[in-house]
Structure 1
Amino acid sequence: MSEQRPWLAHYPAGVPAQIDMDEFAAITDVFDAALLKYRDKPAFTNMGKTISYADLDRLSRDFAGYLLGELKLKKGDRVAIMMPNCLQYPVAVFGVLRAGLTVVNTNPMYTARELKHQLIDSGATVLVVLDNFGPVAQEVLAQVPGVRAVTTGLGDMLGFPKSLIVNFVLKHVKKMVPDYDIPGAVRFRDTLTLGRMHQLPVVRNAAEDLAFLQYTGGTTGVSKGAMLTHRNLVANMQQAASWVGTNIRLGDELIVTALPLYHIFALTANCLTFMKFGAHNHLITNPRDMPGFVKELKSIPFTAITGVNTLFNGLLNTPGFADIDFSRLHLTLGGGMAVQRAVADKWKQVTGVTLAEAYGLTETSPAVCINPLDLREYNGSIGLPVPSTDVCIKDDDGNMLPTGEIGELCVKGPQVMKGYWQRPEETAKVIDADGWLHTGDVARMDEQGYFYIVDRKKDMILVSGFNVYPNEVEDVIAMMPGVLEVAAIGVPDDKSGEAVKVFVVKKDPALTADAIKAFCRDQLTGYKQPKFVEFRDELPKSNVGKILRKELRSPTPG
């Protein structure tokens, strides 16, 4: 057994090989247990307003009452939620789950085309949307009949008079809320008043009921809904909790949630796992405003923070960040994209806390591997498989490869999705006959069971028959003091088939392409060195700050 799972011998003290799958059947059971234990503790804070676990209980119950009592939704119906991090988000999500319904998380930055696809594909019958994104919703709902709208302003949950002030400033001063008109839309606050008048029936969620339809895969064509059951998410929450729980202070954690909760990483790690600990989630609505984010951090005695490499890099390069009091911080978790050594080293130097890299996918709810939290320093790996999880490396023919060999990382465990919503042929492409999920990531495992991502299969660059992994090139260039951000791609080349091209955002205005090439000559073998260097003011990024190499590969319009 241990020969096949060498990682078990290197688990941190107190972490079990298997999780208890019987403790909770559904997310709502975890929620109920947290309410019993932490009722009077703060649950979520946003824009200076805090709601307790008791408040979350009452408000989510009211929203569930509206969905079942007023809208007469039936078990399994889908409700789309299109909001950034704000207090309405957890209220809506727990309301939907308590009503026995399925959450369809929707990126607020979606274009009309993307939103229309998701609403039609999921069959959602309700859309909860923030006013800022009203015009897109208005356009789409006119084309998709049968979807009822619930609208809300960012300040709506902040209490009088702050709610009025915030909504006024956003609309009339900052001009962030355009005019729109959705016929028949109901305000979120009104749904709570209406829902309060209905007795909430006893709703039992079964382990195999769908909790979330989490859309993914826009990079490989049409976006697909990963079917995540209550069992999938409870399993992943138990896996993550057993991993980080050894140094958690129950009822006393304050976690900074800057990644959007509609993204699977923050949803499972911050919202669900930390709910089990009775933690206080501090929601950051706009982390792209780095000076504002740093100012907010200065006033929060936070103990944990999750993020992606670009977020940590942005904080480290924002004046005032180094002056924050990090004395209570004991957990920093990076995921969503590769953490660069230069960023991890600087994070440790500034905060005194190791930036532990984790790895996961939407299809795995998301955690697959996490580094031990007692690591002395960044080790370049994605960590060890979490409890009750098998990971292996396979070649293109589906054969398992031995230690040290490079191939596709494959995963098996209770957190692996049920499949893609109404797309059995797409499901069959990624989950093989033996139940292994093929991730599309190229990786290797060392003797101790640590896994190392080499790259995305489709991002690999082929130079004269040699594989070049963009991550490696990016890691090297990121070590240069004059570089703020970097991305590497392959471009067609007459001689070598493909050549390496890098896009760089400068920290030092004097940085030159020749200096970058000279640095790479010392660090990289010939075929890995960039042939082309292009400077940009910024790099294209996804909603969570992941650098989008595919957009760099597309020709620039005009």
Structure 2
Amino acid sequence: MAEERPWLKNYPKGIPANIDPDAYPSVCAMLDDTFQKFKKLKAFSCMGKEMTYAEVDKHSRNFAAYLHSRGLEPGDKIALMMPNLLQYPIALFGCLRAGLIVVNTNPLYTPREMRHQFTDAGVKAIVICENFAKNLQEILPDTQIKTILVTSIGEMLGFPKKLLVNFAVRTLKRMVPKYDLPNVVTFTEALKQGKKFSVKEFKQAPDDTIIIQYTGGTTGVSKGAMLTNRNLVANMSQIKAWGSVAFCEGEEIALSPLPLYHIFALTVNCLALFNLGSLNVLVVNARDIPSVLKEFKRYKITLMTGVNTLFNAMLNHKDFSGCDFSQFKFALGGGMAVQRVVAEKWQSVTGSPLVEGYGMTESSPVASVNPLDGSGKLGSIGLPVPSTDMRVVDENGN
């Protein structure tokens, strides 16, 4: 195949032409290996509250056990509907460890959009942030959902920050409309109850669907892309291979302002960088630029993922140029085209490249990306990642 991939001659030195898509038989196998390897390191941070790999391991196991105790079985669909909170990776990994199929859901969806997604996928359970529970109430009778877990923005932040954040969200900003849902269990109560149970054994295969990721809503009704263990393990391995010339295992501090429920941040941050022992710094609301910049003061950020509009907003904020970029290596832009003027200004201000890539939900998602050493071409989607075949065709397929 190598002779059919002429771009390989332009690969930066040290990047392999191919990866092993079966490096792990499943994402759960990857999780077990990663938790054991980096158990003492910090895995996630949110609003200054940190959680180690060992803590995420423990919490996600307890969550998986709780889900089984509620009668959910491998292959059942569960929706995750929340912004970037510590609860998200715990819930995601717990669901996968229970053998459930995760249906990521945009918290900003309207009740109509929620109804379509939940009925189309056949969702039986949901973990939802309380801010959006009122919308669930409106469409619950139209769905198969029987198990409802509700969480709050501050639930995992510890005392006293939990109380302060929830007071601000619920009372001062009034961001939680009143809702009435049956048999609701809070996220922390589920973790507590899960300690009493164990995860039931089940068989996993590389071709098992583990995530249904909805896409294409801008061109009509969104459609669920069925992603398997092998899809995600392969793309995670491709990302790691491409970044091998830049990533330092166990040392990266990755700013994660993009929502983890989106395929870009899900695979790059929550899987690939996680598997490298990185600390993922979660930002709850990327539109709140001061909250994004605040993390540069809290940590010596080494890399970040984002989209053009976010990078542009950061560059135009008065405090951005004063951030500490001493350890910053690069920013990875996807989701939309990165404008040349934004990339050039980013390089000028930070001293590091803004690297553009391309992908689709169906490709899990990264398909091509520019070199991370700054040698890429502005306005280009870069080179196909290892083990990827790509061709350009016209509207007639030529």
**Shorter-chain TM-score range:** over 0.9
Alignment-mate amino acid for residue 126 of structure 2: L
Q: Residues 115-194 of structure 1: matches in 2 within 5 Å?
A: 115-194=114-193
Matched, 1:205 2:207: no
Q: What is the alpha-carbon distance in structure 1 between the residues aligned to residue 338 and residue 177 of structure 2?
A: 37
Q: What is the alpha-carbon distance in structure 1 between the residues aligned to residue 35 and residue 147 of structure 2?
A: 30
1:145 deviates by: 4.4
Give the corresponding residue for 2:236: 237
Q: What is the alpha-carbon distance in structure 1 between the residues aligned to residue 104 and residue 236 of structure 2?
A: 18
Question: What is the aligned length?
Answer: 398
1:275 deviates by: 1.1
Matched, 1:344 2:343: yes
Task: Indicate conservation of the 8 Å contact 2:23/2:233, yes or no.
Answer: no
Give the corresponding residue for 1:258: 257
- Tell which deviates more after alignment, 27-36 or 94-103: 27-36
Alignment-mate amino acid for residue 292 of structure 1: S
Give the corresponding residue for 2:64: 64
**Structure 2 unaligned regions, length at least 5:** none
Task: Indicate conservation of the 8 Å contact 2:80/2:126, yes or no.
Answer: yes
Give the corresponding residue for 2:317: 318
Task: Indicate conservation of the 8 Å contact 1:370/1:386, yes or no.
Answer: yes
Matched, 1:272 2:282: no
Q: What is the alpha-carbon distance in structure 1 between the residues aligned to residue 3 and residue 377 of structure 2?
A: 26
Q: What is the alpha-carbon distance in structure 2 between the residues aligned to residue 256 and residue 76 of structure 1?
A: 32
1:308 deviates by: 0.4
Matched, 1:52 2:83: no
Matched, 1:224 2:223: yes
Deviations 1:6-53 (A, max 9, x none): 111111111111101232111111111111110010000001211100
Secondary structure of the 1:394 match is coil
Task: Indicate conservation of the 8 Å contact 1:155/1:167, yes or no.
Answer: yes
Task: Indicate conservation of the 8 Å contact 1:74/1:101, yes or no.
Answer: yes
Alignment-mate amino acid for residue 261 of structure 1: L
Give the corresponding residue for 1:38: 38
Deviations 1:300-347 (A, max 9, x none): 211110100000000000011001110111121100000000000000
Alignment-mate amino acid for residue 169 of structure 2: L
* TM-score, with structure 2 as normaliser: 0.97
Alignment-mate amino acid for residue 25 of structure 2: A
Would you identify which runs of 4 or more consecutive aligned residues in structure 1 move more than 4 Å? none
1:72 deviates by: 1.4
Secondary structure of the 1:379 match is coil
Q: What is the alpha-carbon distance in structure 2 between the residues aligned to residue 299 and residue 396 of structure 1?
A: 49
Task: Indicate conservation of the 8 Å contact 2:236/2:268, yes or no.
Answer: yes
Give the corresponding residue for 1:456: none
Secondary structure of the 2:159 match is coil
1:174 deviates by: 1.4
Q: What is the alpha-carbon distance in structure 2 between the residues aligned to residue 192 and residue 291 of structure 1?
A: 32
Q: Residues 155-554 of structure 1: matches in 2 within 5 Å?
A: 155-376=154-375, 378-399=377-398
Deviations 1:147-169 (A, max 9, x none): 32110111111112221221112
Task: Indicate conservation of the 8 Å contact 1:60/1:95, yes or no.
Answer: yes
Higher Rg of the two aligned structures: 1
Give the corresponding residue for 1:435: none
RMSD of equivalent CA atoms: 1.3
Q: What is the alpha-carbon distance in structure 2 between the residues aligned to residue 331 and residue 318 of structure 1?
A: 19
Q: What is the alpha-carbon distance in structure 1 between the residues aligned to residue 201 and residue 326 of structure 2?
A: 44
Task: Indicate conservation of the 8 Å contact 1:128/1:150, yes or no.
Answer: yes
183 and 14 in structure 1: CA distance in 2 versus 1, 3 angstrom threshold: same
Q: What is the alpha-carbon distance in structure 2 between the residues aligned to residue 144 and residue 239 of structure 1?
A: 37
377 and 230 in structure 1: CA distance in 2 versus 1, 3 angstrom threshold: closer
Q: What is the alpha-carbon distance in structure 1 between the residues aligned to residue 186 and residue 223 of structure 2?
A: 30
Q: What is the alpha-carbon distance in structure 2 between the residues aligned to residue 65 and residue 209 of structure 1?
A: 20
Q: What is the alpha-carbon distance in structure 2 between the residues aligned to residue 173 and residue 235 of structure 1?
A: 45
Task: Indicate conservation of the 8 Å contact 1:2/1:9, yes or no.
Answer: no
Deviations 1:341-398 (A, max 9, x none): 0000000000011111010011110000011111246522100000110000123332
**Structure 1 unaligned regions, length at least 5:** 400-558
Deviations 1:458-491 (A, max 9, x none): xxxxxxxxxxxxxxxxxxxxxxxxxxxxxxxxxx
Task: Indicate conservation of the 8 Å contact 1:208/1:230, yes or no.
Answer: yes
1:293 deviates by: 2.0
1:286 deviates by: 0.9
Task: Indicate conservation of the 8 Å contact 1:345/1:377, yes or no.
Answer: no
* TM-score, with structure 1 as normaliser: 0.70
Deviations 1:238-257 (A, max 9, x none): 00100002221111111000
Deviations 1:89-108 (A, max 9, x none): 00000000001111100000
Give the corresponding residue for 2:27: 27
1:75 deviates by: 1.3
Task: Indicate conservation of the 8 Å contact 2:22/2:233, yes or no.
Answer: no
Task: Indicate conservation of the 8 Å contact 2:78/2:100, yes or no.
Answer: yes
Q: What is the alpha-carbon distance in structure 1 between the residues aligned to residue 52 and residue 158 of structure 2?
A: 14
Task: Indicate conservation of the 8 Å contact 2:308/2:338, yes or no.
Answer: yes
- Tell which deviates more after alignment, 306-315 or 161-170: 161-170
Deviations 1:253-274 (A, max 9, x none): 1100000000000000011000
Task: Indicate conservation of the 8 Å contact 2:124/2:144, yes or no.
Answer: no
Alignment-mate amino acid for residue 108 of structure 1: P
